[in-house]
Amino acid sequence: MASLSCVASLSAELYGNAKVQTLGHGPLAHLTWLAGGWRGEEGAAIVEEWWSLPVSDTMFGIRQRYTGESSLNHLWMRIESKGDRSLLSVQFTAQTEAVVYTEVERSTERIAFENPSQVFPQRIEYWRAKDGSLHGRFSLLKASSSAQSREQRWVWLPL
């Protein structure tokens, strides 16, 4: 946990969310709003997600969910520019290979990716609200009674 705190302090100094808007460049510059550290709660767990600045055609992210000193799970993420779309690769905690999602929606401070062959989530969305918070959603593509119960939403604040 000490190393996460060290990364958090360094990232806050280097990538403070107010400064990030002017630093990203390349084909993913439209995603500078995602860069930096984000934190929220899921029940008793704390969730932190960190995104690097978009440099050239790549951004990297990591998410850690923990309680006290115990890490519950984590995700490794990468967004890469591929032509006029981007790809989100996510390596979930227990998987050996990353799952790749294709960009399907983009606006000023919103992006969505889909992979219909994935069991869950099939859609991953991020958007930044006017108050500066980061919102996200994991969901299925088809509307059904089970789809709504499988949906996961979050709201995180900048660190």
Q: Which amino acid is at 6?
A: C
User: Tokens 């009674």 sit at which residue?
Assistant: 145
Is the domain defined by 2-158 classed in CATH 2.40.128.20?
Answer: yes
Q: What is the Cα–Cα distance from 20 to 141, expressed in whole angstroms?
A: 32
Whether residue 122 contacts residue 112, with contact meaning beta carbons closer than 8 Å, is answered with no
Whether residue 135 contacts residue 126, with contact meaning beta carbons closer than 8 Å, is answered with yes
User: Tokens 């002017």 sit at which residue?
Assistant: 22
pLDDT at position 143: 63
Task: Write down the number of H helices and E strands in the chain.
Answer: 3, 10
Instruction: Determine which of 35-49, 59-73, 88-102, 132-146 has the lowest per-residue pLDDT on average.
Output: 132-146
Tens digit of each residue's pLDDT (9 = 90 or more) over 17-55: 554 445 677 899 999 999 999 999 998 999 999 999 998
Domains of the chain by residue range? 2-158
Q: Which two tokens stand for residue 12?
A: 């806050």
Tens digit of each residue's pLDDT (9 = 90 or more) over 63-72: 999 998 899 9
Q: Model-level pTM?
A: 0.82
Contacts of 100 (CB under 8 A, 6+ apart): 87, 88, 89, 115
